[in-house]
Amino acid sequence: MMRVVMLDPSAPDRLDRIRPYLPEGWDIATPGSRNPAEQVAALSGAAFGITGDVAVTEDMMAVEGLRAIHKWGVGYDNIDLDAARRHRVRVLRTTGSNAVAVAETTLGLILALNRNIVRGHVGILEGEWRKGELSPTSMRLSGRTVGIVGMGYIGKALARLLGGFGCTILYTKRTKLSAEEERAAGVRFAPLDELLRASDVVTLNCEFNASTRNLINRETLALMKPDAILVNAARGGVMVEEDVAEAIREGRLRGAGVDVFAVEPVPPGNPPDRPRQGHHDAASRRHLLRCLRAVHHPHDRQPQSDRRGQGARSDRRAGLTTIRRCQGPPEGSASGPKSSCNR
């Protein structure tokens, strides 16, 4: 029996949504935890693995009979590509599959920060009416300048959403869009330093690679307006979390929305419980999670999920993509079902 393994521990009902769409004689399983040894054991005897956030290591690539790893999403920074090449395991991804979901999450974080929604919510839960405190720092999005770092599927989807707010939209990326593409998207190219200086909102929607590692740091943050906000929906390593926390604490940045972290999942107890307003120790001030003017989200990019079964269809598509692309030998390969990594 051919087997597919969902490396991110998944509930039984999620697997049940996929099983009816598998070819006859196939099954799907999942490990009980993210423990590396348990991950390797789960892959034993499997032909394919699907990963969202779980790191795919050398030991996992070395499992006998593994044909391919499918990245559920776009960025493959959690996959050891060198090990994939050595063990001739294909690496696949579905570019653009969750672009709208990530764009909506980015917009949600922008609005939550600009309107102080989370701080107001927490205040009410704690028995405090913070209207007077929050009003001076609540900002509207309409008519503002938004700078998007990265203008791929996600950046373009975000630009479409922002069009309804009448925003001026700047973008930066390694390769400029054509003039026709810029007109269609309603965006204008700007170098990173110009984008940071001009924008009221800066969003990170780029790939994580050597050129974007620690792109947002103490020096680049110093270019931003003190009343600007920053949203990271790319990867944790694109910004230096401690530098962002420091900029917020010192009033050089109004706030940050964080969908991704340098370490995921965020380790329990690190940092300790969020302090009440005004209470910080020296160590906690370095933690972005301790910032009262930061909104956090656990890197959830599920494309669709509703009562009509849209989430189920998304689950099925991810599984089917892996199977359909990997059942036979890769194109141009004479080595059978295993081949060099597609990058």
Residue of 70, 87, 119, 299 with catalytic role = 299
Class of domain 2-97+306-326: alpha beta
Check if 2-97+306-326 and 99-296 are the same fold. yes
Residue of 235, 290, 296, 301 with catalytic role = 235
Is 86 an annotated catalytic residue? Answer: no
Give 155-201 pLDDT, tens digit per residue.
Answer: 999 999 999 999 999 999 999 999 999 999 999 999 999 999 999 99
Going 198 to 202 to 205 to 211, the CA torsion angle's sign is positive
The chain-wide mean pLDDT, for the chain, equals: 84
Residue of 104, 194, 242, 264 with catalytic role = 264
Give 220-264 pLDDT, tens digit per residue.
Answer: 999 999 999 999 999 999 999 999 999 999 999 999 999 999 888
Is 308 an annotated catalytic residue? Answer: no
Q: Domain limits of the chain?
A: 2-97+306-326, 99-296
Domain 99-296 = CATH 3.40.50.720: yes
Q: Strands 48-51, 2-6: parallel, antiparallel or unpaired by DSSP?
A: parallel
Q: What angle in degrees, to the nearest 10, is found between the helix axes of 153-162 and 99-114?
A: 50
pLDDT at residue number 206: 93
Going 232 to 238 to 243 to 247, the CA torsion angle's sign is negative
pLDDT at residue number 333: 34
- As beta bridge partners, residue 69 has 49, 91
- As beta bridge partners, residue 168 has 145
pTM for this model (two decimals): 0.76
